[in-house]
Amino acid sequence: MSFRAALLSGLVTAGLVLLTVWLFDLRLDRAAVLAPVLVVIAGAVAGLFVLWTKVGWEALRRREHPWRIVALAVGALAVLVALSLLGIKLPRE
């Protein structure tokens, strides 16, 4: 393993530990003990993200008008964000 890869791996692990300390209000020593679990979870999340991005991209490529679908999805997301920022709440039953 190269020095550069080891340094990058250590920095990413330290970042995950510090992020866990900040998010979950744990002590640093306890989060450091959980570092291997944090690395495995981060890897699994990254793998799922890559998998579903590839599945979505392949499904989008097979469509007749892919940019129209992207435009509709972005528009729907923009409407949700705008309504959230304006503080509009939908009625509940």
Q: What is the pLDDT of residue 87?
A: 87
Give the 3-state DSSP-derived string for 10-74, with helices as H, strands as E and coil as C. Answer: HHHHHHHHHHHHHHHCCCHHHHHHCHHHHHHHHHHHHHHHHHHHHHHHHHHHCCCCHHHHHHHHH
Residues 77 and 6: their CA atoms lie apart, in Å, by 39
Q: Please give the chain's pLDDT, 93 residues, in tens.
A: 899 999 999 999 999 999 999 999 999 999 999 999 999 999 999 999 999 999 999 998 898 888 898 899 999 999 999 998 998 877 887
- The pLDDT assigned to 7 comes to 96
pLDDT reported for residue 9: 94
A 10 A CB-CB count for 15 gives 12
DSSP state of 77: H
- Domain extents for the chain? 3-64
